[in-house]
């Protein structure tokens, strides 16, 4: 098995140790792609890639897709910085319209998330952002595991190794494992309260207070992604039709 591990930290600590542990216990070949070392420019939101054009930005983002093509499984193992994923990984996520030509091929890949945090009070919503990262690549996470490990090496404590073994299991067997407190549909760990029920912000499922499904959501599934990208293309076409009219609004207000 060939595993690609994506991480986003300059610190050579728990993220790399977790990746090596998983690869060793799967008896797998592993390549680590450290996003922190990549040249990544911000997305210009031009939508050219949604219309089949190559991205005009000259950086290293396309490297990601080449490496995923050669992998059997993709792990996203990275820390939490100030409640969310690390900055370079977010920049890469913002460029993932470029993944559109690869979605059908990537949907067969196995994937999982391990996010590491040092303080429970600052755990934030990184689990969901990392979850979304795999989904916009067309890869449904088989597990999303959070590990409290601040000091380099803490990820190898017994209670944390048990969590790493969950990742070994799901990648080896291709079965999904849902942890306590996660959405039964998409493994989200964050919810919004709406009139006495809970709404998952990823899949948009409506859940009761015990996370039982009231209405199952479809957002971020394969069919929804295809429809969403078509909607975005339509919005680009609409803008081109209304561009002159919208420009006149700026003239009215002198801005």
> According to the model, what pLDDT value does residue 96 have?
94
Round to whole Å and give the CA distance between 60 and 38. 6
Round to whole Å and give the CA distance between 96 and 105. 15
Q: Quick check: 129 and 201 in contact, CB under 8 A?
A: no
Question: Residue-wise pLDDT tens for the chain (255 aa)?
Answer: 999 999 999 888 999 999 999 999 999 999 999 999 999 999 999 999 999 999 999 999 999 999 999 999 999 999 999 999 999 999 999 999 999 999 999 999 999 999 999 988 888 999 999 999 999 999 999 999 999 999 999 999 999 999 999 999 999 999 999 999 999 999 999 999 999 999 999 999 999 999 999 999 999 999 999 999 999 999 999 999 999 999 999 888 888
> According to the model, what pLDDT value does residue 129 have?
95
> According to the model, what pLDDT value does residue 12 have?
84
Provide CATH code, domain 2-177: 3.40.50.360
User: In the numeric block, which tokens belong to residue 217?
Assistant: 């959501």
Distances (CA, A) of 141 to 40, 208, 220, 241, 252: 24, 23, 12, 39, 48
Instruction: Name the residue ranges covered by the structural domains of the chain.
Output: 2-177
Q: Quick check: 101 and 229 in contact, CB under 8 A?
A: no
> According to the model, what pLDDT value does residue 200 have?
98
Round to whole Å and give the CA distance between 249 and 255. 9
- Among candidates 10, 55, 224, 58, which has minimal Cα distance to 136? 224
This prediction has a pTM of: 0.92
Q: Is 148 in a helix, a strand, or coil? A: strand
Round to whole Å and give the CA distance between 51 and 74. 27
Residues 6+ apart with CB under 8 A from 213: 184, 185, 205, 206, 207
């Amino acid at each position: 098995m060939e595993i690609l591990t994506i991480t986003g930290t300059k610190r050579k600590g728990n993220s790399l140790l977790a990746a090596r542990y998983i690869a060793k216990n799967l008896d797998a070949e592993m390549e680590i792609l450290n996003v922190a070392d990549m040249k990544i420019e911000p997305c210009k939101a031009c939508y050219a890639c949604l219309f089949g054009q190559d991205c005009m930005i000259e950086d290293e983002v396309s490297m990601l897709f080449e490496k995923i093509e050669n992998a059997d499984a993709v792990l996203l193992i990275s820390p939490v910085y100030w409640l969310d994923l690390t900055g370079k990984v977010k920049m890469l996520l913002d460029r993932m319209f470029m993944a559109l030509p690869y979605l059908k091929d990537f949907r067969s890949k196995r994937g999982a998330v391990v996010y590491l945090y040092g303080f429970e009070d600052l755990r934030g919503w990184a689990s969901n952002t990392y979850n979304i990262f795999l989904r916009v690549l067309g890869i449904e996470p088989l597990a999303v595991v959070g590990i409290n490990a601040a000091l380099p090496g803490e990820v190898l404590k017994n209670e944390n190794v048990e969590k790493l073994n969950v990742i070994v299991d799901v990648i080896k067997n291709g079965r999904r494992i849902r942890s306590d407190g996660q959405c039964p549909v998409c493994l989200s760990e964050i919810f919004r309260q709406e009139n006495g029920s809970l709404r998952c912000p990823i899949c948009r499922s409506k859940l009761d207070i015990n996370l039982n499904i009231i209405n199952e959501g479809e957002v971020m599934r394969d069919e929804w992604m295809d429809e969403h990208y078509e909607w975005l293309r339509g919005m680009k076409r609409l803008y081109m039709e209304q561009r002159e009219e919208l420009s006149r609004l700026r003239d009215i207000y002198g801005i």
